[in-house]
């Protein structure tokens, strides 16, 4: 029995699963956003005891928001949780008396796609999450890309529009995430609303700065001309970002995950494909949405626990006793 943990910006998912990729039981709660450096680890242990009772997991896979310091097993200075820096690997290894393997969420997810999912056996694979933020995980020549502290994945901060004044959550201008992620899309919409006038409900809301990312897709489905225009622009931005991914990593397959992609792939993928033809250096590879829905990071956590890639093995933590 493996323990799989997804430490998200808003949700903490903890599950028990088997090495062949079955999730047996899962508990989802809000990620602690206050307390000390051990608050998140302690919450995970509490849920694990509900799931496992007296049993001890064979291994624990933890897929987390970053940035990470894998050598110490910490999340360090994350913009996505007010606790900012917290320890995961060591307190979990001690409390659960088990080996702990920590990875960035998208890094784990690409490994999950390789082991259990659409990337089955492929050695050149990209996983891109389009969610509140945008991130990526990559395999090249059969190797998982990790980086020296575990942060080889900050693809959402690629500059897509160097003339843009739109600031990303990180402070940079014209970033992929700042323009077209779940959190960036409303900014893009209000910018576009100021440029042209549309006879549309979505336009009126965007002008007042109260059009959410979810509503943009909702109105587009109802045929709202402005919402469709915003989505077309966002698809162009995604295509530009993915062209950078293709030029950098030469993947055979790009798997899209994250709530925005999973819920709206029908509106995303055809548009992205069309623009990618214009932007990409090579003939674009296949683009598919993850078959794991909103569990793709959790499946990644299960995969790094049960089929630990050598690139993460050296960062695993064992209990002292
Ligand atoms: Zn950024």
pLDDT digits (tens, 9 = 90+) for 113-156: 999 999 888 999 999 999 989 999 999 999 999 999 999 888 99
Report d(CA 282, CA 126) in Å as an integer: 15
51 Cα–ligand 1 center, Å: 37
Report d(CA 294, CA 282) in Å as an integer: 30
Report d(CA 220, CA 234) in Å as an integer: 12
List the one residue out of 274, 271, 279 whose CA is nearest residue 240: 279
71 Cα–ligand 1 center, Å: 25
N-terminal to C-terminal alpha carbon distance within the chain: 21
Q: The tokens of 161 are what?
A: 């529009």
177 Cα–ligand 1 center, Å: 6
168 Cα–ligand 1 center, Å: 5
Pairing of strands 286-289, 253-257: parallel
* Average of per-residue pLDDT values in the chain: 95
141 Cα–ligand 1 center, Å: 28
Report d(CA 60, CA 46) in Å as an integer: 14
Predicted TM-score (pTM) of the model is 0.95
Report d(CA 243, CA 57) in Å as an integer: 41
Q: Residue 208, Cβ neighbours under 10 Å: how many?
A: 10
Beta bridge partners of 15: 4, 26
84 Cα–ligand 1 center, Å: 17
pLDDT digits (tens, 9 = 90+) for 231-263: 999 999 999 999 999 999 999 999 999 999 999
pLDDT digits (tens, 9 = 90+) for 64-93: 998 999 999 999 999 889 999 999 999 999
CATH architecture of 2-111+295-313: 2-Layer Sandwich (3.30)
HEC string for 7-43: ECCCEEEEEEECCCCCEEEEEEEECCCCCCCCHHHHH
201 Cα–ligand 1 center, Å: 30
Give alpha helix (H) positions in 80-174: 89-96, 105-115
Report d(CA 231, CA 237) in Å as an integer: 10
Asked, colleague to colleague, whether 2-111+295-313 and 120-290 share their fold, the answer is: yes
What residues have their beta carbon closer than 5 A to ion ligand 1?
157, 168, 170, 172, 175
206 Cα–ligand 1 center, Å: 22
Domain ranges of the chain: 2-111+295-313, 120-290
Inter-residue contact 168 to 181 (CB < 8 Å): no
* Section 28-43 average pLDDT: 97
Inter-residue contact 124 to 249 (CB < 8 Å): yes
- Is CATH 3.30.420.40 the classification given to domain 120-290? yes
298 Cα–ligand 1 center, Å: 25
Inter-residue contact 200 to 224 (CB < 8 Å): yes
């Amino acid at each position: 029995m493996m323990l799989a943990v997804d430490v998200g910006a808003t949700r903490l998912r903890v599950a028990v699963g088997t090495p062949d990729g079955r999730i047996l039981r899962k508990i989802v709660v809000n990620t602690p956003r206050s307390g000390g450096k051990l608050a998140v680890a302690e919450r995970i242990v509490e849920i694990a005891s509900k799931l496992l009772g007296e049993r001890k997991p064979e291994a624990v896979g933890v897929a987390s928001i970053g940035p990470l310091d894998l050598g110490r097993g910490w999340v360090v200075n994350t913009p996505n949780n007010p606790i900012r820096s917290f320890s995961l690997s060591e307190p979990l290894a001690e409390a659960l008396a088990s080996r702990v393997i920590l990875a960035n969420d998208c890094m784990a997810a690409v490994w999950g796609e390789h082991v259990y999912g659409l990337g089955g056996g492929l050695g050149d694979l990209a996983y891109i999450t389009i969610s509140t933020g945008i991130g990526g995980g990559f395999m090249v020549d059969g190797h998982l890309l990790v980086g020296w502290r575990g942060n080889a994945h900050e693809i959402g901060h690629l500059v897509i529009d160097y003339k843009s004044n739109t600031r990303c959550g990180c402070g940079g201008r014209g970033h992929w995430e700042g323009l077209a992620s779940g959190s960036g899309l409303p900014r893009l919409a209000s910018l576009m609303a100021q440029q042209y006038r549309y006879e549309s409900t979505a336009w009126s809301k965007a002008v007042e700065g109260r059009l959410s990312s979810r509503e943009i897709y909702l109105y587009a489905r109802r045929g709202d001309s402005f919402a469709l225009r915003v989505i077309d622009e966002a698809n162009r931005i995604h295509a530009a970002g993915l062209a950078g991914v293709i030029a950098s990593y030469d993947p055979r397959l790009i798997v899209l995950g994250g709530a925005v992609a999973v819920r709206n792939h029908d509106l995303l993928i055809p548009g992205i494909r069309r623009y990618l033809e214009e932007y990409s250096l090579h003939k674009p590879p296949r683009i598919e949405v993850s078959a794991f829905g909103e569990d793709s990071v959790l499946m990644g956590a299960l995969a790094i626990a049960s089929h630990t890639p050598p690139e993460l093995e050296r960062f695993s933590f064992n209990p002292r006793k």
